Amino acid sequence: MMFDRRIRLLLVEDNPGDVRLFAETIKEARAFQFELEHRDTIDKALAFLSASCPDMIVLDLGLPDGGGVDAIQRVQRAAPSVPLVVLTGLDDEAAAIEALHAGAQDYLIKGQMSTSLLIRALRYAFERHGMQMALRKESTLDELTGLANRRGFLMLAEQHAMLAKRTGERFVVVFIDMDRLKPINDTLGHQAGDAAIAEIADALRVCFRESDIIGRLGGDEFALLLPASDGEDSIRERLHQELQRRNLQPDRRYLLSVSVGIVISDPHQPPSVEEMLAQADALMYEEKQKGRPAR
């Protein structure tokens, strides 16, 4: 339980008076110990979150470099596993309600913040976020393969893309489509087709690192997000060797092959992961139409 230990709390607030009041309020919570980190802009908060993971974030909705739903989304992309409570003014409770719809777990109104209200909000936020994460985990895993599903892949990939945008690092998005699934289903049955899909997923786990992002988008389509240092030829060669190894196993009822499309990000004009997936999908389709002999 988080409240059984020292709690690392990031306060994102640009008003020095509100910062002092907040610090005094949590000091009065004698039953709990807080380690308070303070940043006065979203950009500074994101820089902090890129290197550290607090237990809780309290975010002012009216910061000089952003506010409202946009501020919430930026912070949540940087720290999706951290509960978020928002701060708002007396005359802006509607914005706080909107923040809850955008993903914040609770809100506090400046001028009405007592120690008991603060602790209650933080405790509620922690418990609510825990339930949300548990539900999200169930809804972002593909049941057949155990990989991330489309939603889970995009969540993880967009987080990586945001970090890469800040650091200027390039990355690769790979779209993979299994070849000849329909003949397997038609001749051997859908159970064999499911086994073939699961085997492709297992081959991807073998080929790539645990830190790489691997997902099943649906049907016989898969996606990867890898460091650009991997290189297109290296990616293709690893896949080719692993599938060849499996195809040479005795008593196989079907052979495995895939069509691949690969897109490298541009750090100067970074597209969204969805856009890169669409580009990689188009390249994969071109390869499939050509019947690439290297498969």
- Residue ranges per domain, the chain? 2-139, 150-290
CB 231 within 8 A of CB 174: no
Rounded average pLDDT over 52-81: 89
Cβ–Cβ contacts within 10 Å for residue 257, how many? 17
Rounded average pLDDT over 10-19: 94
pTM of the model: 0.58
Say whether pLDDT at 3 is over 60.
Answer: no
User: What class does CATH assign to 150-290?
Assistant: alpha beta
Q: What is the percentage of the chain residues whose pLDDT exceeds 90? A: 53
pLDDT value, residue 118: 87
Say whether pLDDT at 177 is over 90.
Answer: yes
Cβ–Cβ contacts within 10 Å for residue 244, how many? 13
pLDDT-derived band of residue 4, with 50, 70 and 90 as boundaries? low
User: What class does CATH assign to 2-139?
Assistant: alpha beta
Say whether pLDDT at 1 is over 70.
Answer: no
Rounded average pLDDT over 197-203: 96
Q: What is the mean pLDDT of the chain?
A: 88
Query: Nearest CA to 46 among 16, 24, 83, 79?
Result: 79
Rounded average pLDDT over 4-33: 88
pLDDT value, residue 167: 66
